[in-house]
Chains A and B, each alone.
Chain A
Amino acid sequence: MTIRAKILAAATAAFLMGTAFPATAVTLRYANQGDLKSLDPYTLNETTTNAHLGHVYEGLTKRGRDLSVEPGLAEKWEVSSDGLTWRFFLRKGVKFHNGNPFTADDVVFSANRVRAEGSNFQTRVPSDAEFVKVDDYTVDVKLKRPNPILNYQWDTWYIMDKEWSEANNAAAPTPAAATSPSYSSLNANGTGPFKIESHQPGVKTVFKKNPDWWGKAEHNLDEIVFTPIKSDATRVAALLSGEVDVIEPVPLQDIQRVNSSPNAQVLTGPELRTIFLGFDQTRDELLYSNVKGKNPFKDAKVREAFFKAIDIETIKSRVMRGMSTPSALMIAPELFTYAKDFQRPKYDPDAAKKLLAEAGYPNGLEVGMDCPNDRYVNDEAICQAVVGMLARAGVKVNLLAQPKAQYFGKVLKSGNYQTSFYLLGWTPGTFDSHNVLFDIEGCRDNPNSSRGESNLGNYCNKKHDELSDKILVENDKAKRDQMIKEAFQITTSEYGYIPLHQQSLAWGISKKVKLSQRADNSVLLYWAHKE
């Protein structure tokens, strides 16, 4: 062998060895209809963003595959007998991606940052809670009043590195009105199982496995490539052609086709979000109705008539193609122990007509309805179905279906709750009933409290609110659940809302991939296995 040939052989061998690793490296490609807009974990509180960042950042707690609260960066915690002091014992030997050790200072820093102006996660930590560093691996949280669900949302309150944030001028959260680009919105330094390799907002984000992660990996991936694909048809095509391994969501009309393809399938399951209808019960005269001088929705009989006029099974089979779970409550049954004790009133159009006549509308009435058309699964089609069903009971509904930007601008508080009858969806951020009782069902009468801010029609019952105040500070779970049940009974007996259904999750996955689906629609690829 000549020298030249030897060199060539050696170079070839070196090249082959060099390429040996990429050949076996497992890359999972994932496409979502939404973007990963900012890497700053305190900028936008939204499920998809939180799930993305959950690969990189971690909270003191985690939520498991069944959504149960598990230890995360805190190994364990204790609550004092008066419920006012929580002591968190932090995991030792955890390092941020830049090599900095994780300590109590980072927790105290993150607690201040998450509550600072500009953070969208201020409600994660009570504003009057005091964080005290006991030693490097112990933190006490001192509360002004007991809070049994203090750490329920801490799985998405991600802990940041104090030193890194301060060194990069990112000690304050990236505010919505940022006038200069913020370092933390383009760079990340967490403790999680994946690192951000590159991030082009709206184009592509590459996650690389973190070999120094403290936990035991439950995936076999080396790399995740995330691409937002906005167009439904293109997203499905990319899955079917094998260019991506996981997509979310699959549009309802494509589920059949994906399932019948040889290389992909759809994972489905009920989502935690409840879709419901609400009424304006506060104005003396409705904004959009032919009834003048009074508000028909103040009469529980009218609300009951509307409820009974809606045939939820037809909505399920026709509009949702079987992909929904009719709901009797304003919270998903997975999140409340006694949910099975509640039943939907039966569909009964004759009773609805009779009730309307009893309430003084024998010839029916006319009302305007607001509906988003790009927010929930088939939202506009649901509203159209409701319009048709109510017409049979003698109610003429004038539907205004708009894109979410316009819809929310009109019906939320910022738009002065300009609606008479509307469709909305809600997932309690805490995965706990109190959030629903407070935000959706609470009275809006105190302008200094945020109670009922998402109660667009101001359904109000003082007894219900008293119960919800007690529920907030009750530490005994059995007693607490009993009170929650009572509160929900008040709302359902008065037909305060019309819960419709939980929509279905629909994730498209390649047959090469195994993945756990979590009911909050978080696509967590640190549980993914790919052949």
Chain B
Amino acid sequence: MLAFIIRRFFQAIGVLFAVGIIAFSMFRFAGDPVNQIVSIDTPAAQREEVRRSLGLNDPVPIQFTRYLASAAHGNFGVSYQFRQPVSDLLAERMPATLELAFCATVFAVVFGILMGVYSGLKRDSVLTKLFQTLSLIGISLPTFLIGILLIYLFAVTLGWLPSYGRGDTIQIGWWSTGFFTSSGLLALIMPSITLGLFQMTLIMRIVRAEMLEVLRTDYIKFARARGLTTRSIHFGHALKNTLIPVITIVGLQLGSVIAFSIITETVFQWPGMGLLFVQAVQNVDIPIMAAYLMLVALIFVLINLAVDILYTIVDPRLRSTIRQATT
């Protein structure tokens, strides 16, 4: 197991390195950062000075090496827009994104499994048809449209929920949380639904399909024959065996939820890392773009690792595979 994790660690370094190279070779096409740093009537000599002091005149490989060297020391540079260390900015914005991703995932898992199990057991009920229509909408409408529709319904027309931002937050150490204020909780509702809707439909469909599959298997028939209660058959035996694909999906999608919360955060002006990244792209803020991309790559690697480990806990058969792979 340890060897497996160590090997994954070296793979992670390779992934990060590759992401860094791709990112840096793309930045040239993002535009000229100097124009975003100074006003349009700034004399050319001053622009040149800014360009030189940022090291933008150096060839890309040199810029990349310099970046890697300072990143290895934990220094991810200073944002061009905010004149603050990128690591501080990301740390300040991370709680917002993680809380949102957490709520969206909880929403997706809870409702996805409930709806999936229900529609798997009662295939012909009206509610099942409604769930399936809803899931079709959730899977086919783009995120920003869902967000804007929710805003117009619940914020503008009904006035129940706030249309933007995080509400009031409470500072616990360096972590700012919206979980302990009523405005913070209210502000979480719409963004979480918007972000989690796609995952929810995915989970619902998988759980439904798996349930249908599992209910046909012999051991369920056998359990029925043994006279076990329906509840224990459905939830103790059937549901448990549908969970492997659900864990895969939730795990892999958690990475996407964090990485692609960009759109939801922009629509709701949610002050997380995704919004920071969008602003960085518009302003060609290379230090933030680079650090964000690396961070997202790292999150994906870590989540994949966690999913692999979780598999072995849920399905003992896989333990031997990993052991074999490591020897």
The reply to whether the CB of B98 lies closer than 8 angstroms to some CB of chain A is no
A229-B40 contact, Cβ under 8 Å, with A177-B54, A408-B35, A414-B35? no
Residues of A contacting B78 in the complex (Cβ-Cβ under 8 angstroms): 177-181
Contact A38 B83 (CB under 8 A): yes
The reply to whether the CB of B51 lies closer than 8 angstroms to some CB of chain A is yes
Residues of A contacting B48 in the complex (Cβ-Cβ under 8 angstroms): 414
Residues of B contacting A403 in the complex (Cβ-Cβ under 8 angstroms): 31, 282
Which residue in chain A gives the minimum CB-CB distance to B155? A241
Give the CA-CA distance A413 to B49 in the complex, in Å: 14
Which residue in chain B gives the minimum CB-CB distance to A412? B35
Interface of A is mostly: loop
Contact B164 A229 (CB under 8 A): yes
Give the CA-CA distance A426 to B40 in the complex, in Å: 9
Give the CA-CA distance A77 to B121 in the complex, in Å: 86
The reply to whether the CB of A144 lies closer than 8 angstroms to some CB of chain B is no
Binds B, one of A41-49, A54-62, A157-165: A41-49
Give the CA-CA distance A453 to B46 in the complex, in Å: 12
The reply to whether the CB of A123 lies closer than 8 angstroms to some CB of chain B is yes
Neighbour of A120 across the interface among B39, B80, B156, B282, CB < 8 A = B39
Q: Mark A395-419, 1 if CB is under 8 A from B, else 0.
A: 0000000011111110011110000
Q: List residues of B (42-95) whose CB comes within 8 Å of A's CBs.
A: 42-51, 53-54, 78, 80-85, 88-89, 92
Interface size on B, residues (CB 8 A): 57
Residues of A contacting B41 in the complex (Cβ-Cβ under 8 angstroms): 45, 123, 429, 435, 439, 454
Contact A237 B152 (CB under 8 A): yes
Q: List residues of A (223-246) whose CB comes within 8 Å of B's CBs.
A: 227-231, 233-234, 237-238, 240-243
The reply to whether the CB of A112 lies closer than 8 angstroms to some CB of chain B is no
Which residue in chain B gives the minimum CB-CB distance to A453? B44
Chain B nearest Cβ from A41, distance in angstroms: 13
Contact A181 B88 (CB under 8 A): yes
Give the CA-CA distance A383 to B68 in the complex, in Å: 42
Give the CA-CA distance A408 to B35 in the complex, in Å: 7
Contact B43 A123 (CB under 8 A): yes
Chain B nearest Cβ from A63, distance in angstroms: 18
Give the CA-CA distance A123 to B38 in the complex, in Å: 13
Chain B nearest Cβ from A28, distance in angstroms: 16
Contact A233 B151 (CB under 8 A): yes
Which residue in chain B gives the minimum CB-CB distance to A47? B39
The reply to whether the CB of B36 lies closer than 8 angstroms to some CB of chain A is yes
Q: Mark A174-189, 1 if CB is under 8 A from B, else 0.
A: 1111111110011000
The reply to whether the CB of A362 lies closer than 8 angstroms to some CB of chain B is no
Q: Mark A213-228, 1 if CB is under 8 A from B, else 0.
A: 0000000000000011
The reply to whether the CB of A284 lies closer than 8 angstroms to some CB of chain B is no
A46-B31 contact, Cβ under 8 Å, with A180-B78, A181-B78, A233-B267? no
Give the CA-CA distance A212 to B271 in the complex, in Å: 33
Give the CA-CA distance A237 to B269 in the complex, in Å: 12
Contact A181 B85 (CB under 8 A): yes
Residues of B contacting A45 in the complex (Cβ-Cβ under 8 angstroms): 38-39, 41-42
Give the CA-CA distance A228 to B283 in the complex, in Å: 15
Contact B83 A231 (CB under 8 A): no
Contact B81 A177 (CB under 8 A): no
The reply to whether the CB of A122 lies closer than 8 angstroms to some CB of chain B is yes
Residues of B contacting A322 in the complex (Cβ-Cβ under 8 angstroms): none
Contact B267 A176 (CB under 8 A): no
The reply to whether the CB of B21 lies closer than 8 angstroms to some CB of chain A is no
Neighbour of B84 across the interface among A185, A229, A237, A450, CB < 8 A = A185
Neighbour of A243 across the interface among B47, B89, B162, CB < 8 A = B162
Which residue in chain B gives the minimum CB-CB distance to A186? B84
Give the CA-CA distance A229 to B44 in the complex, in Å: 32
Give the CA-CA distance A170 to B278 in the complex, in Å: 30
Residues of B contacting A429 in the complex (Cβ-Cβ under 8 angstroms): 39, 41
Give the CA-CA distance A178 to B283 in the complex, in Å: 16
Give the CA-CA distance A174 to B80 in the complex, in Å: 11
The reply to whether the CB of B202 lies closer than 8 angstroms to some CB of chain A is no
Contact A450 B156 (CB under 8 A): no
Contact B164 A243 (CB under 8 A): yes
Binds B, one of A200-208, A350-358, A498-506, A520-528: A200-208
The reply to whether the CB of A66 lies closer than 8 angstroms to some CB of chain B is no
The reply to whether the CB of B248 lies closer than 8 angstroms to some CB of chain A is no
The reply to whether the CB of A392 lies closer than 8 angstroms to some CB of chain B is no
The reply to whether the CB of A530 lies closer than 8 angstroms to some CB of chain B is no
Contact A231 B266 (CB under 8 A): yes
Q: Which 9 A-B pairs have the closest CB atoms?
A: A405-B31, A409-B32, A177-B53, A45-B39, A203-B271, A408-B35, A450-B43, A406-B31, A201-B82
Taking Cβ atoms with an 8 Å cutoff, the residues of B that contact A are 29-51, 53-54, 78, 80-85, 88-89, 92, 148, 151-152, 155-156, 159, 162-165, 266-269, 271, 275-276, 278-279, 282-284
The contact sample of 23 A-B pairs, CB cut-off 8 A, is A40-B83, A120-B38, A176-B38, A176-B50, A176-B53, A176-B80, A181-B78, A182-B83, A185-B83, A229-B269, A230-B279, A233-B267, A234-B148, A234-B151, A234-B163, A237-B152, A238-B164, A403-B31, A408-B31, A414-B44, A429-B39, A439-B41, A450-B44
Taking Cβ atoms with an 8 Å cutoff, the residues of A that contact B are 31, 35, 37-38, 40, 43-46, 117, 120, 122-123, 174-182, 185-186, 200-204, 227-231, 233-234, 237-238, 240-243, 374, 403-409, 412-415, 426, 429, 435, 439, 450, 453-454
